[in-house]
Amino acid sequence: MNGADFRTVVVGAGFAGLSVAQALRDEDTAVIDRGEPLDPAEAAGTLKVVMRAPADNVYVPDIDAQLRSLRSGLIRNDVVMPLSTMSVNLYSYRQGGISNWWGGYAARLTDATFRRDGVLAWPVGLEVMRPHYEQAESLLHVHGDPLVDDYTMAAELPGWHHWRDYFAGLFPLARVTPQAKNVSGQHGGNSGLCLGNGQCAVCPNDAKARPSNVFPEVNVIGRALVEEIVFSGNRAVALRGQSDGEPFSISCDRVVVAAGGLENVALLRRSALPAGVPPYLGHFFQDHTTCEVLALMPRPLKYHHLGAEGAVEIPELSGELEGIEVKTVMLITPPSRDQLKLALGPTATGSTLLDLQRQMSRLARFYLQMEIPPEWELAVRTRGNEAYLYTLPYLQHLPTLDAVVLRVMDRMMKAGLQVKAVMPHHREKFGGHHYSGTTAMSRTPHAVVDTDQRLIGTDNVYINGGSVLPRCGGSGPTLTIVACGLRLGRHLALPIAINERADATVSTAPV
């Protein structure tokens, strides 16, 4: 320990940080976080109140209400949003970060994503990640379709069978999404009751998997904002910050930066980094963008007939199209009033009320999640203490995204579906939730961390989070973040002489 306060300090108590701490299992580890703990029941109460503020009877839209109920009340924990005019950002520095907010869709990246070449490319393959995925799925208590064999699950997602049958003649590969849940039998009874689909952003019963219910045994020191990593040569020796306005300094033998999509970049940029750190910090920002296609199905839909925030994955409408990975899911929630108007026309001409009802019950929302790949060169940039997104190049690629949507619609029509309307969200804004790629590992020369997630040019700074993933393809990043965290924690548990070694050379193929 060399007299340091802690052997390892993990910055950030979201999924990225707690997964490392869990696997490290070392008493000399401290996890510190800038936020105060979240009480889900209290947050759900706030959500109800702010959605319909009784004093002025003002209706606050869902997302704004969620933002208010999940945000931190501590000084310096506000995030200036949006991070760019083209992105719809959701962010929180409450303890547990946006890991408290996620939808629980816990998909592995595909083999094609791991193999894909490009400006960034995975230096390890699916085979290396498989045991870590399995452990991550077990910890996150993933529920899903028992007929699949490409992920492991704790239990069936209620409703899976109905959707298998419903799609059998149309898209035989369709299956419900793998969903992380904090329900029955997990962690000796510390589990919630799932109220069903569509209640999930702030679950009053805490039935959604969140960092503090997935990793209840990891202790977190809260209300501690890390402002800077202090280096001596290539070694990090201390962290400086403030807690409730009071300065603090913690010495340590190594640091794991797991502070989320913006701060993984911003914290490093605020620190005086050794000269050997690669210049790509903050480059190659990745996220997802979306489009909805409304289609008339041959048979009525049972809206909401699925547990958690699940949906139905349609592999036949997914994959790499126009060089972009797209994942298409059918949402289980019914179309909004505006969507109905768009799909059926303002007066739904020629329809009797009965016809209209029939059509409404058959209207499905196909949701296309399209990757924003590293080649588009979006970036996280910083200005003083603030991080923001540089997204101008996104606009250049709108024609490619339009072409992807057309290809998916073509497949839908060939399967016999009537497309009724398109909601091209991608033309207005993009996702803003899946902050990835900005401190990536890579088998190309653009790596910022090596395959052990050590910041190149330093001896003892490690990173976890979406920022280390070189590519996400069409999938959300979170299951992979947890899998990488478990892998990193195990690596750090090895004797210190083995794991702190010279910079690795770049390999040319995933192993």
**Residue at 292: amino acid letter:** E
Please state, in angstroms and rounded to a whole number, the distance separating the CA atoms of residues 461 and 451. Answer: 13
According to the binding rule CB under 6 A, does residue 15 interact with ligand FAD? yes
Q: Helix axis angle, 126-139 relative to 15-24, nearest 10°? A: 100
437 binds ligand FAD (CB under 6 A): no
Q: 263 vs 371, which CB is nearer to ligand FAD?
A: 263
Pick 180 or 344: Cβ nearer ligand FAD? 180
In the complex, the smallest distance separating the C-beta of residue 477 from ligand FAD, rounded to whole angstroms, is: 5
Using rule CB under 6 A, residue 99 touches ligand FAD = yes
Q: Angle at Cα 17 formed by Cα 455 and Cα 288, nearest 5°?
A: 80
Out of 157, 203, 218, 225, the only residue in the binding site for ligand FAD (CB under 6 A) is 225
Q: Decide if residue 364 touches ligand FAD (CB under 6 A).
A: no
Q: Which is nearer to ligand FAD, 460 or 467 (CB)?
A: 467
> Whole-number minimum distance, CB 247 to ligand FAD, in Å?
14
- Strand bridging mode 155-156 / 142-144: parallel
In whole angstroms, the minimum distance from the beta carbon of 465 to ligand FAD comes to 3
Mind giving me the DSSP string for 436-489? Answer: B-TT---SSTT-SB-TT-BBTT-SSEEE-SGGG-S--TTS-SHHHHHHHHHHHH
Residue 13, interface with ligand FAD (CB under 6 A)?
Answer: yes
126 binds ligand FAD (CB under 6 A): no
Nearer to ligand FAD, 72 or 359 (CB): 72
Of 439 and 458, the one with the shorter C-beta distance to ligand FAD is 439
CA dist 103 and 453 (Å) reads 26
Q: Is 163 in the site for ligand FAD (CB under 6 A)?
A: no
Q: Work out which of 21, 86, 98, 379 binds ligand FAD, going by CB under 6 A.
A: 98
Count CA atoms within 13 Å of residue 134 on its CB side: 7
Structure tokens at 238: 């201390």
Q: Considering the rule CB under 6 A, would residue 462 count as an interface residue with ligand FAD?
A: no
Q: How many CB atoms lie under 10 A from the CB of residue 169?
A: 11
Shortest distance in whole angstroms from residue 85 CB to ligand FAD: 19
Query: Contact with ligand FAD (CB under 6 A): which of 153, 200, 226, 317?
Result: 226
Q: How far is the CB of 225 from ligand FAD (least distance, A)?
A: 5
For ligand FAD, which is the closer residue by CB, 381 or 411? 381
- Rounded Cα distance between 380 and 191, Å, is 37
- Applying CB under 6 A, does 484 fall inside the site for ligand FAD? no
Measure Cα distances from 95 to 169, 307, 415, 426 in Å.
46, 26, 46, 31
Enumerate residues 260-299 that contact ligand FAD by CB under 6 A: 260, 263, 267
Q: Residue from 34, 143, 210, 446 that binds ligand FAD (CB under 6 A)? A: 34
454 binds ligand FAD (CB under 6 A): no
Kindly indicate which of the ranges 14-22, 157-165, 229-237, 376-384 contains the residues binding ligand FAD, using the contact rule CB under 6 A: 14-22
User: Which two structure tokens, joined as six digits, stand for 291?
Assistant: 């489009």
How many CA within 13 A on the CB side of residue 128? 14
Amino acid at 364: A
Question: Nearer to ligand FAD by C-beta: 105 or 280?
Answer: 105
Least distance (Å) between residue 511 CB and ligand FAD: 25
Q: Residues 105, 167, 280, 366: which binds ligand FAD (CB under 6 A)?
A: 105
Comparing CA positions, the residue from 282, 265, 262 lying closest to residue 93 is: 262
CA angle, residues 417, 421, 422, in degrees to nearest 5: 105
The nearest distance, CB 423 to ligand FAD, in angstroms, is: 18
144 sits near ligand FAD (criterion: CB under 6 A): no
Angstrom distance (rounded) from CA 243 to CA 135: 34
Which one, 90 or 423, has the nearer CB to ligand FAD? 90
SS3 assignment for 304-367: CCCCCCCCEECHHHCEEECCEEEEEEECCCCCCHHHHHHHHCCCCCCCCHHHHHHHHHCEEEEE
Task: Name the one range near ligand FAD by CB under 6 A: 186-194, 257-265, 409-417, 444-452.
Answer: 257-265
- d(C-alpha 224, C-alpha 282), whole Å: 24
| Residue 321, burial from CB neighbour count under 10 angstroms (0-12, 13-18, 19+) | buried
Other residues' Cβ atoms within 10 Å of the Cβ of residue 243: 15
Question: How many residues are there in the chain?
Answer: 511
Using CB under 6 A, pick the residue from 86, 87, 93, 391 that binds ligand FAD: 93
**Torsion from C-alpha of 168, 170, 171, 176, nearest 10 degrees:** -60
* Number of residues this chain uses to bind ligand FAD (CB under 6 A): 38
- Options 28-36, 45-53, 133-141, 357-365: segment touching ligand FAD (CB under 6 A): 28-36
* Separation between Cα atoms, residue 209 and residue 303, nearest integer Å: 23
Task: Determine if 101 is a binding residue for ligand FAD (CB under 6 A).
Answer: yes
Provide the binding-site residues for ligand FAD, judged by CB under 6 A.
Answer: 11-17, 32-35, 90, 93, 95-99, 101-105, 225-226, 258-260, 263, 267, 433-434, 465-466, 476-478, 481
